[in-house]
Homo-oligomer: A and B are copies of this chain.
């Protein structure tokens, strides 16, 4: 199809489509003449993914690009790809993104929690920075995340994460990474809203 149709089907404005092609995030169409190119179903699928990552999941361009890179060069086993993609996510904590030189004790609160829950502590896991930051906010409000509360959270959240990962297609690495990235991001607000509804439901039922 022509670029105008691609714009129409994807809902992504022409200027942005051209930007993505220029930036190498979307492959160019097959050249038909000096002014016309042909775009395939693959282009449409890719554009929709970019739109979901940027507009729906709210990822900055830099992280969107990293995820596309992983999808384009899916090297190694699926679990490695998933690990890389999930690492590339960590929204909201760009300034806290751990690096190769992250000291082992960079996230003391998060470390204590992960060890309490029997998880593995690896300072380079980006969600550690996110957890540390969230725990600092709890402290600043004069509350404390008690071991009891965290031990209540742990098994439930691990069970949710297990089920989510089990749902990923095992035979299609690209699709698995795509779904993992979108799923991690897009179900976060679903879970938050469900928790609030649970509070409202439980409170209402006691009235």
**Cβ < 8 Å to B, chain A residues 96-140:** 110, 113-114, 117, 119-120, 122, 125-128, 130-131, 133-135, 137-138, 140
* Structural contact, B56 and A196, CB atoms closer than 8 A: no
Instruction: Decide yes or no whether A40 CB sits under 8 A from chain B.
Output: no
CB distance A160 to B153 under 8 Å? Answer: yes
Cβ contact within 8 Å between A196 and B165: no
Question: Interface size of A by Cβ–Cβ distance < 8 Å?
Answer: 80
Which of B83, B117, B130, B187 is close to A203, meaning CB atoms less than 8 Å apart?
A: B83
Segment touching B, from A1-9, A17-25, A64-72, A176-184: A176-184
Is B189 in contact with A130, judged by CB distance below 8 angstroms? yes
Asked, given contacts A89-B196, A197-B114, A200-B127, whether A190 binds B156 with beta carbons under 8 Å apart, the answer is no
Q: With both chains docked as a complex, state the minimum distance between the C-beta of A81 and any C-beta of chain B, in angstroms.
A: 9
Give Cα A182 to B52, complex, Å: 31
Q: B residues within 8 A CB of A183?
A: 143
Beta-carbon contact of B79 and A145 below 8 Å: no
Whether B193 lies near A130 (C-beta < 8 A) is: yes
With A125-B197, A183-B143, A194-B154 in contact, is A165–B203 under 8 Å at CB?
A: yes
Instruction: Considering the complex, give the chain B residue whose CB is closest to the CB of A140.
Output: B56
A residues with a Cβ closer than 8 A to B are 48, 52, 56-57, 77, 79-80, 82-83, 86-87, 89-90, 92, 110, 113-114, 117, 119-120, 122, 125-128, 130-131, 133-135, 137-138, 140-143, 145, 148-149, 152-154, 156-165, 167, 179-180, 182-184, 186-207
Q: List 30 A-B contacts (CB under 8 A).
A: A52-B141, A77-B207, A79-B204, A83-B200, A83-B207, A86-B196, A87-B200, A110-B193, A114-B197, A119-B197, A127-B193, A127-B197, A130-B192, A130-B193, A131-B193, A134-B186, A138-B190, A143-B179, A143-B183, A148-B167, A152-B159, A152-B163, A157-B195, A158-B198, A160-B198, A161-B199, A162-B198, A165-B203, A184-B199, A188-B195
